[in-house]
Structure 1
Amino acid sequence: MFRSSIGTFRFQFADLKTLLAKATPLRSGDQLAGVAAESGRERVAAQFCLADLPLDQFLKEEILPSEKDDVSALIQKQFDPVAFKKINHLTVGGLRDFILSEDCDSDFIASIRYALTPEMVAAVSKIMSLQDLVLGAQKCRVVTKFRNTIGEKGRISVRLQPNHPTDDLTGVAASILDGLLLGAGDAVIGINPATDNLPTARKLLHLMDSIRTKYEIPTQSCVLCHVTTSMELMSENAPLDLVFQSIGGTQKLNESFGVSLGILKEAREQALSMNRYTVGNDVMYFETGQGSALSANAHFGIDQQTLETRAYAVAREFSPLLVNTVVGFIGPEYLFNGKQIIRAGLEDHFCGKIMGLPMGVDICYTNHADADSDDMDLLLTMLGVAGCNYIMGIPGSDDVMLSYQSTSFHDALYLRQSLNLKPAPEFEAWLQKMGVVGKNQLPTWKEDSMRLLPGFAGEFHG
């Protein structure tokens, strides 16, 4: 039992799970789940109580028993008691203060990565302001490699997302060309297939691999199909670079996605055996998002932001090249408006980076949410300052297959110009060699870049 007071008002919180939920900044998903604070006063009281909580309390009380949940068991397995000695004297509030202090740098955060459980990290984020989340994340640098190097300081990458409502190869190729000519695609050329089946995924993989090899593009491709589909494709020796899967923070949620920790381990080993990488062997790509556990009735009364952070423990077990939170995609049932989406995006990025993940954010909203492009511009800019590894690049920012609003190729150009950021180094050199961009990262539209045009779409049709 935890107790706190605001003036003459007294509050009690039955357990750690309840305290974490009540301390969470307001969001519609927690209200829908019935775990949110009932008033602003109760939320502040919970945040005061959480700030004073010693970090070792999180080692004494599991919010979801490990004997019933393999994610909880994984969190226990990952914990580093030796590294924890560096911070075991701190409270949640003390950890926040230290992260924001001049004494804390990227090397120190990396050294305590496995001393921090997801619940500790989630707790810290709940008592942070937006600028705290930006500054804290900016101190974390997580670099990953496949055919290029993603996440270095002073750089931001872009997932080129050429989705098509019928998986038409000519339409997909046209979107890929559009993105390449605007400097996108260094994180991955990644397609969400309209239909998750072997023939479609195989055709899309061969299309992307043909483009990549013909123009010698130092990047990687991915069809975001189910992990078991990827495993079948690899068994056929299809040109699959990255294995994709959506994951979550409880065993029951992952089972609802049709995956387990064992399947993910097997898929990673299979992808490594393909030996398609060059500069590094990070072969996994994971997506997450606040609210998915509630949709699957797999939340166990835990708030959605804490569950999101638990998903990062799953992700880091498999050394991914890319992780991103699709922050506003599920809808207003979980993040009601632009204010909640902005807060959640910065929380997710901070928590993932603190835990050692190469975090990107799909800065997005659905058309029935109380949000607009102004909200996304704010989140985009703050994530750029925070050192986000990559964002999405979608033609016109409107995904015509998934029917949601995200960020465009031009949004990436805006970030690179306004914050003096560059693409992945190998990809930057390729863009300059092809004449696509000049030294200032602006598209040049020189004759050299037109080498990409002849037969680009038609050559790969069918």
Structure 2
Amino acid sequence: MAFAHTLGGTRYVFDDLRALMARATPFRSGDALAGVAAASAAERVAAQYALADLPLRHFLHEAVLPYEADDVTRLILDSHDTAAFAPVAHLTVGGFRDWLLAEADTAALTALAPGLTPEMVAAVSKIMRISDLVQVSQKCRVITRFRNTIGLPGRLSIRLQPNHPTDDARGVAASVLDGLMMGAGDAVIGVNPATDNIETVQRLLSMLDEVRARFDIPTQCCVLSHVTTTLLAMERGSPVDLVFQSIGGTQGVNESFGVSLALLAEAHDAARAQKRGENVMYFETGQGSALSADAHHGVDQQTIEARAYAVARQYAPLLVNTVVGFIGPEYLFDGKQILRAGMEDHFCGKLLGLPMGVDVCYTNHAEADQDDMDTLLTCLGVAGVTYIMGIPGADDVMLAYQSTSFHDGLYARAALGKRPAPEFEAWMERVGIGATEAIPAALSPALIGLS
């Protein structure tokens, strides 16, 4: 079905929903690289007008990827909750924006989430300003639990990311101690292993779990290995709290990651069988992965990203985060594009009912710096982001990219009046973190094995 809008005497025609969504997207380098971006600002505005007039019901009848060709499309449409959708079923995309800003409250948004498709939330985000995205995101509340409770009002959690270029246990432990001393780690203590070697993964899992148990830390640990490696670690009896996997918004993207929906379901069931906690999955996403895998099928990268959230939603994760600037300037060229993408991703994930975090980050060859990250971090904090990253010095020495430091987490909590997860906050008070500048005796480096 074609769509059209006349602007300034020029009639703009968009061949199908996929083209309309792409042309309406605020400019980013990845869409230009894929050849789907609007040719001019005028065409973009015309597409946004046409998109605003589109009934939300249309997204249930025209898919950006064919039902018969893509299992993510089938998941989206087969799992759609018609009853939950009913309160907004009569609205256009523009009317939905107005409703979100003026009428919707937290209870209404929570009830609505199962009735929304990723394309619906991607569409409405395309006609919203940053302030709109912040205002609606603030009203979304998603609470998950493992050993602590994440996503409560007035809370901001931090993933403690103690990566090491050789997976050296002492190096990882030193970063863990550094992060704990500055209040990081209530979202998860999560290590990206330098290799996917099963013995290394098991060794890191055991070390992290031993530290957590020895100091009775109310958090969860994760080694972010491939899902098949984590399944093998569980089979061998390793202490697996969370199953991690990078996912995408098309069947082809997920195949490029070496996963399928059936494999994710298998891992979810295996982790639940461990009976270590309630929400057991951890997913990471990022705009541009579909283009990297040549699996975007002419769909803009932000819409594909939102579709990844439908995959995540299926498995009730503890944590989801978009690694927003990680892939590079080919996809998000500069700080302005990274800011827009991060706010869109957070908005779309929260609106779909996900516990959404953002890795506020960039690569060294992007036109971005820490000032840009401070801006995005602050906007996300005001918008109620569930969690951010905590990395020594904001510089990941294994993945070679720039993110947010433990100090940035302290800034965000102090400036915005946010606190850690309640169970983790009580633990910090109990062991004396924050009471003095000294390392509490309960967290002696000797006990962790650093001296």
Pair in the same fold by TM > 0.5: yes
Is 1:259 paired with 2:259? yes
1:295 aligns with 2:292: yes
Q: Residue 355 of structure 2 aligns with which residue?
A: 358
Alignment match, 2:61: 60
Equivalent residue, structure 2, for 1:47 = 48
What's the % identity of the aligned pairs? 64
Q: Which amino acid aligns with 1:159?
A: R
Cα offset for 1:455?
A: 1.0
| 1:145 correspondence with 2:137 | no
Match of 2:159 in 1: 159
**Which consecutive aligned stretches of 4+ in structure 1 deviate over 4 angstroms post-superposition?**
none
- How far has the Cα of 1:5 moved from its partner? 1.4
Give me the whole-angstrom Cα distance separating, in 1, the residues matched to 2:274 and 2:89: 42
Q: Partners in 2 of 1:377 and 1:51 — Cα distance?
A: 32
Q: 1:331 aligns with which of 328, 332, 348?
A: 328
- Counterpart CA distance in 2 for 1:451 and 1:241 is 24
Q: Which residue of 1 aligns with 2:243?
A: 243
Query: Is 2:157–2:186's contact at 8 Å kept on the other side of the alignment?
Result: yes
Any idea what SS the aligned residue of 2:90 has? coil
> For the Cα contact (< 8 Å) 1:173–1:456, is it kept in 2?
no
Cα offset, 1:276, TM superposition: 1.5
- Which of residues 427, 437, 450 in structure 2 aligns to 1:445? 437
Amino acid at match of 2:13: Q
Question: Which residue of structure 2 lines up, in the alignment, with residue 313 of structure 1?
Answer: 310
1:110 Cα deviation from its structure 2 partner? 1.2
- 1:180-218 Cα deviation digits (max 9, x unpaired): 000000000000000111011011101101100110000
Partner of 1:415 in structure 2?
412
Q: TM-score, normalised by structure 1?
A: 0.96
Report the Cα distance in structure 2 between the residues aligned to 1:163 and 1:6, rounded to whole angstroms: 51
**Equivalent of 1:322 in 319, 322, 335:** 319
**2:373 corresponding residue in structure 1:** 376
Please give the alpha-carbon distance, in whole angstroms, between the structure 2 residues aligned to 1:90 and 1:138: 22
The aligned residue for residue 229 of structure 1 is 229
How far apart in 1 are the matches of 2:85 and 2:274? 37
SS in 1 for 2:321: strand
Residue 184 of structure 2: aligned partner: 184
Q: Secondary structure at the match of 1:412?
A: helix
- Equivalent position SS for 2:94: helix
Is residue 248–residue 292 contact of structure 1 (8 Å, CA) maintained in 2?
Answer: yes
Residue 56 of structure 2 aligns to a residue whose secondary structure is: coil
Q: Partners in 1 of 2:448 and 2:82 — Cα distance? A: 55
Structure 2 letter corresponding to 1:453: S
Residue 431 of structure 1, aligned match among 428, 431, 442? 428
- Cα distance in structure 2, aligned partners of 1:390 and 1:437: 20
- Paired residue secondary structure (1:455): helix
Which 5+ residue runs of structure 2 have no aligned equivalent?
A: none
Does the 8 Å CA contact 1:366/1:405 hold for their aligned counterparts? yes
Amino acid at match of 2:151: G
Q: Distance in 2 between matches of 1:43 and 1:456?
A: 59
Letter in 2 for 1:173: A
Alignment: residue pair count = 450
Residues 435 and 445, structure 1, Cα contact 8 Å, conserved in 2: no
The CA deviation string for residues 325-364 of structure 1, in whole angstroms up to 9 with x for no partner, is 0000000000000000000000000000000000000000
Q: 1:451 Cα deviation (Å)?
A: 2.4
**What secondary structure sits across from 1:85 in the alignment?**
helix
Aligned AA (1:455): A
Report the 3-state secondary structure (helix = DSSP H, G, I; strand = E; otherwise coil) of the residue aligned with 1:350: helix
- Alignment partners' CA distance in 1, 2:218 and 2:343: 29
**Under a length normalisation based on structure 2, what TM-score does the superposition of the two structures give?**
0.98
2:438 and 2:195 mapped to 1: Cα distance?
Answer: 37
Residues 119-160 of structure 1: CA deviation (Å, up to 9, x unaligned): 010000000000001111110010000000000000000000
One-letter amino acid matched to 1:322:
L
Match of 1:441 in 2: none
Q: Which amino acid aligns with 1:293?
A: A
Q: For 2:198, give the aligned amino acid.
A: L
Question: Secondary structure of 1:112's partner?
Answer: helix
How far did residue 98 of structure 1 move? 0.6
- Alpha-carbon distance in 2 for matches of 1:454, 1:317: 41
Distance 1:129 1:454 in 2: 48
CA–CA distance in 1 between the matches of 2:447 and 2:164?
A: 17
Query: Are 2:21 and 1:20 equivalent residues in the alignment?
Result: yes
Query: What RMSD, in angstroms, separates the aligned Cα atoms of the two structures?
Result: 1.0
Match of 1:80 in 2: 81
How far residue 457 of structure 1 moved from its aligned partner, in angstroms, is: 4.5
Checking the alignment, whether the CA contact within 8 Å between 1:142 and 1:353 is kept in structure 2 is yes
- Code of the residue aligned with 1:258 in structure 2: it is G
Q: Could you tell me how far apart the structure 1 residues matched to 2:433 and 2:84 are?
A: 46
8 Å CA contact 2:215–2:442 kept in 1: the answer is no
Deviation at 1:437, TM superposition (A): 2.1
The residue identity in structure 2 corresponding to 1:10 is: R
**Whole-Å Cα distance in 1 between the matches of residues 170 and 327 of structure 2?**
29
Are residues 1:170 and 2:170 paired?
yes
- Rounded to whole Å, the distance in 2 between the matches of 1:97 and 1:392 is 33
2:362 partner SS:
coil
Quote the Cα distance in structure 1 between the aligned partners of 2:206 and 2:82. 46
Equivalent in the alignment of 2:389: 392
Q: Residue type of the partner of 1:142? A: V
Task: Please give the secondary structure, in 1, of the residue aligned with 2:283.
Answer: strand
Name the structure 2 match of 1:349: 346
8 A contact 1:177–1:456 mirrored in 2: no
Q: CA deviation at 1:86?
A: 1.1
Letter of the aligned partner of 1:217 in structure 2? I
Q: CA deviation at 1:431?
A: 0.3
